[in-house]
């Protein structure tokens, strides 16, 4: 029940069909055929009272009170001038990160980081298998923070004729294909990252859009996976609308145009690191992963940095689940929050997008992520009732700023 039968969704994937009519019609058909309603089973005991917004107040206080300040912008100093508007907040983030970008030879930097945070970071990185040697933990993290600035998009505009909707349909399909191959989550994030760049850098027509998407997934798999799908399998998934030769040619084209730069800082790494430092419950982590994956479908999210998307997903997940605070957990959250993932204004902006996406998720045509996170394996997070009212949860707290 976890995976949408692949053949069910095939009509949707016919992006290469000649006329727009042909392309649109099956889309409706598919959403009717495997609509999420029948798959949506609210879990017993997950009922959340709706009016719990006031509870989020203490959390806001945690965000900025830790009195640590180093020369490194990663650690949050005192940002008390937070009354600024959204755009100011974003600029401030950029300034901090750009400053960080300018630093070289950061090896002495780790001495400036509070020992407790450093220790937690080392443990978290080790747990995620990101380091061989603990003494490099902080450097690896600094590099992650800097690398995420490497490919940023000034705006969310897509070259014509593509729209956020076409992009979302393609990403949704890639999520399904990704599920079919049981690839790692990193591969999915990398695929969409490559797609975002390719869409803006390579001229493709609508007929080749699906091919481009598959090639991005294929390249991401080459970067991240041990077992690769056969090219013929990929062609089969596209109903053999393209030949193997066409696929391999597209691969060369994408690699050449992207100049082999197929690495990125995955928002998932930031999420898992923060969650691990914050000692978040498994359910919070699944919820945050769900919200983060939903942002892959949101065209407007491409302008945000990986750490910001992850930070927002984690904050929102905590607000939605409203787990009773324990001193231990709050302290851990406090330590995790001292890592500068983004200004409050930026995080809030992203949380709004994610909350909106989560509220609409089950009624959309592009519901692969919703289905994926409705399984027992993922603790049924996408079925959580509070998600439907997630946007209002935020708008109330937003008025306090």
Partner 1 sequence: MAQECGFQYEPVAEIGGGAYGTVYKARHVESGQFVALKSVRVQTDQDGLPISTVREVALLKRLEQFDHPNVVKLMDVCATFRTDQETKVTLVFEHVDQDLKTYLEKAPAPGLPPSRICDLMRQLLCGLAFLHSNRVVHRDLKPENILVTSRGQVKLADFGLARIYSCHMALTPVVVTLWYRPPEVLLQSTYATPVDIWSTGCIFAEMFRRKPLFCGDSEVDQLGKIFNVIGLPPEEEWPADVTLLRHNFSPISPRPITDYVPEINDLGAELLLEMLTFDPLRRISALNALEHPYFQEDEVTNG
Binding site for partner 1 (CB under 8 A): 104-105, 107, 131-133, 135-136, 139-140, 143, 146-147, 150, 218-219, 222-223, 228, 230-231, 244-245, 247-248, 251-252, 255-257, 259-263
| Nearest distance in Å: CB 231, partner 1 | 6
Smaller CB separation from partner 1, 223 or 283: 223
Task: Give how far Cα 233 sits from Cα of 210, 218, 237, Å.
Answer: 15, 11, 6
Q: Which residues contact 233 (CB under 8 A, 6 or more apart)?
A: none
CA distance 166 to 164: 6
Smaller CB separation from partner 1, 165 or 256: 256
Q: Is 93 left (phi over 0), alpha (psi -120 to 50) or beta?
A: alpha
Is the peptide bond prior to 361 cis by the omega test (within 30 degrees of 0)? no
Strand partners, 75: 339
CA distance 6 to 4: 6
Strand partners, 339: 75
| Nearest distance in Å: CB 345, partner 1 | 28
In the three-class reduction of DSSP (H, G, I as helix; E, B as strand; rest coil), residue 2 is classed as: coil
CA distance 211 to 77: 46
| Nearest distance in Å: CB 258, partner 1 | 9
Smaller CB separation from partner 1, 214 or 313: 214
CA distance 164 to 171: 10
CA distance 191 to 262: 9
| Nearest distance in Å: CB 346, partner 1 | 23
Smaller CB separation from partner 1, 117 or 348: 117
Smaller CB separation from partner 1, 143 or 377: 143
CA distance 182 to 221: 11
| Nearest distance in Å: CB 250, partner 1 | 9
Smaller CB separation from partner 1, 110 or 374: 110
Backbone angles phi, psi at 339, to 5 degrees: -85, 130
Smaller CB separation from partner 1, 84 or 147: 147
| Nearest distance in Å: CB 111, partner 1 | 9
Q: H or E segment at 27?
A: helix 20-33
> Tokens 């605070």 sit at which residue?
325
Nearest of 390, 383, 388 to residue 40 by alpha carbon:
383
Q: Which residues contact 116 (CB under 8 A, 6 or more apart)?
A: 335
| Nearest distance in Å: CB 143, partner 1 | 6
Smaller CB separation from partner 1, 22 or 261: 261
Smaller CB separation from partner 1, 54 or 104: 104
Smaller CB separation from partner 1, 261 or 377: 261
CA distance 184 to 181: 9
| Nearest distance in Å: CB 35, partner 1 | 37
| Nearest distance in Å: CB 222, partner 1 | 5
| Nearest distance in Å: CB 228, partner 1 | 6
CA distance 295 to 194: 15
């Amino acid at each position: 029940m976890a995976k949408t039968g692949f053949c069910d969704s095939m009509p949707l994937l016919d992006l290469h069909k000649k006329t727009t009519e042909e392309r649109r019609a099956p889309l409706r058909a598919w959403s009717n055929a495997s609509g999420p309603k029948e798959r949506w089973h609210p879990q017993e005991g997950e009922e959340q009272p709706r009016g719990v917004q006031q509870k989020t107040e203490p959390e806001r206080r945690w965000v900025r009170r830790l009195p640590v300040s180093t020369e490194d912008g990663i650690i949050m100093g005192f940002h008390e001038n937070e009354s600024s508007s959204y755009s100011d907040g974003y600029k401030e983030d950029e300034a901090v990160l750009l400053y960080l970008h300018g630093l070289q030879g950061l090896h002495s930097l780790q001495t400036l980081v509070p020992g407790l945070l450093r220790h937690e970071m080392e443990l978290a990185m080790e747990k995620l298998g990101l380091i061989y040697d603990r003494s490099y933990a902080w450097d690896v993290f600094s590099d992650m923070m800097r690398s995420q600035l490497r490919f940023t998009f000034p705006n969310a505009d897509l070259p014509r004729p593509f729209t956020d909707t076409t992009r979302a349909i393609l990403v949704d399909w890639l999520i399904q294909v990704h599920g079919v191959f049981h690839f790692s989550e990193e591969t999915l994030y990398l695929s969409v990252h490559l797609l975002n760049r390719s869409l803006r850098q390579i001229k493709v027509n609508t007929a080749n859009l699906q091919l481009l998407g598959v090639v991005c997934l294929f390249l991401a798999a080459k970067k991240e996976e041990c077992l690769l799908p056969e090219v013929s399998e990929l062609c089969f998934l596209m109903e053999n609308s393209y030949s193997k030769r066409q696929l391999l040619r597209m691969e060369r084209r994408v690699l050449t145009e992207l100049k082999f730069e197929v690495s990125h800082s995955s928002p998932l790494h930031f999420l898992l690191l923060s969650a691990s430092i914050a000692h978040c419950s498994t359910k919070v982590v699944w919820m945050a992963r769900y919200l983060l994956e939903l942002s892959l479908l949101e065209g407007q999210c491409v302008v945000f940095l990986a750490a910001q998307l992850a930070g927002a997903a984690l904050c929102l997940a905590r607000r939605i689940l409203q787990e009773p605070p324990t001193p231990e957990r709050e302290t851990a959250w406090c330590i995790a929050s001292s890592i500068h993932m983004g200004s409050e204004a930026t995080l809030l902006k992203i949380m709004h997008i994610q909350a909106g996406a989560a509220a609409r998720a089950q009624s959309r045509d592009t519901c692969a992520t919703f289905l994926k996170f409705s399984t027992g394996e993922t603790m049924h997070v996408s079925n959580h009732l509070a998600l439907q009212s997630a946007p209002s949860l935020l708008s109330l707290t937003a008025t306090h700023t």
